[in-house]
Every structure is written in C-alpha cells, then in structure tokens.
C-alpha cells in the first residue's frame, strides 16, 4: 500500500473513531435524568459527539493494541472484521467494557433524538458490539 493511501486510510479511520466516540459521549451527557426530555438540538448533539470523540481518541491513543485492532478491522471484509472485534473483546474484557461505556452515549442520542451520529459504514459494528 502506498504511503499516501495508508495516510488516507488512517485519516478515515481516525475520523470514524472520533465520530463514534463523539456519539457515545453525547448519550451520556444528554441523559442526565430518565424523566428529563433529551436536548436534541443540533448544538447539543454536536457537543456530545465532539466530547465523545475526544474521549475515544484519548482512550485509543492510550491503548495501542486496541487502536491497531480497530484499524485492522476497519480494513477487513465485514465477516472478518466481526471476528477480529469479537476476538479482541473476548481477550480484553476490561478494555471492551471501558470502550463500550465511552461509546454508549452515541447509542442513547441516536435512540432519543432519532439522529445518526455513528458513521453508517460502522453502524453494524456499533449495533453488534456496543448495542
């Protein structure tokens, strides 16, 4: 793979991870109370996505094996990517639980506000492994 192509893939993966993290954080921030109506304004959603993205980026940068696995899975065909994610989650249950907690706000905001904050090409992975 050419250096320019590899850099492009890394940027794409980084952007997707940031979007995924941002969405998860949004769910946590947007749900302070089970009875409170969610703030689904564009500003609130964008802020949540941004917050989660920053948290996820920091997390994956401090877990190089997890980051490598995510990059590897993003380049694989879907069935192989699913197995890569599953194998890593099984071998690293604590990291999986932490990552799932970081991303959960994205699922919350998607459900409560009916918006798509997880990039569509990664929604399958989010649904399967984050819920």
Q: What is the Cα–Cα distance from 129 to 100, expressed in whole angstroms?
A: 8
Task: Name the band, by pLDDT with cuts 50, 70 and 90, for residue 14.
Answer: low
Q: Does the pLDDT of residue 31 top 50, yes or no? A: no
49 within domain boundaries: yes
Q: What is the Cα–Cα distance from 93 to 66, expressed in whole angstroms?
A: 12
Q: Measure the CA dihedral 32/114/125/64, to 10°.
A: -40
3 within domain boundaries: no
List the beta bridge partners of residue 22: 52
Q: What is the Cα–Cα distance from 81 to 104, expressed in whole angstroms?
A: 20
Q: What is the Cα–Cα distance from 97 to 83, expressed in whole angstroms?
A: 17
Q: pLDDT at position 45, please?
A: 94
Kindly tell me the number of DSSP H helices and DSSP E strands found in the chain: 6, 0
86 within domain boundaries: yes
97 within domain boundaries: yes
Q: Which two tokens stand for residue 13?
A: 């993966």
Q: pLDDT at position 5, please?
A: 54
47 within domain boundaries: yes
Mean pLDDT for the chain overall: 80
pLDDT digits (tens, 9 = 90+) for 45-94: 999 999 999 999 999 999 999 999 999 998 999 999 999 999 999 999 99
- Comparing 16 with 81, which gets the higher pLDDT? 81
Q: Which of 90, 86, 74 is nearest to 18 (CA)?
A: 74
11 within domain boundaries: no
Q: What is the Cα–Cα distance from 83 to 42, expressed in whole angstroms?
A: 35
89 within domain boundaries: yes
Q: pLDDT at position 55, please?
A: 94
Domain total in the chain: 1
Task: Name the band, by pLDDT with cuts 50, 70 and 90, for residue 24.
Answer: very low
Q: pLDDT at position 33, please?
A: 46
74 within domain boundaries: yes
The parent domain of residue 45 ranges over 16-29+38-124
């Amino acid at each position: 793979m050419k250096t320019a192509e590899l850099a492009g893939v890394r940027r794409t993966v980084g952007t997707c991870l940031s979007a995924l993290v941002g969405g998860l954080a949004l769910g946590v921030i947007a749900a302070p109370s089970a009875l409170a109506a969610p703030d689904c304004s564009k500003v609130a959603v964008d802020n949540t996505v941004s917050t989660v993205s920053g948290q996820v980026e920091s997390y994956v940068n401090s877990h190089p094996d997890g980051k490598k696995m995510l990059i590897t899975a993003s380049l694989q065909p879907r069935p192989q990517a699913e197995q890569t994610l599953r194998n890593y989650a099984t071998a690293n249950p604590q990291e999986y639980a932490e990552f799932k907690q970081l991303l959960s706000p994205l699922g919350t905001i998607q459900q409560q506000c009916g918006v798509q904050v997880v990039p569509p090409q990664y929604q399958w992975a989010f649904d399967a492994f984050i819920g």
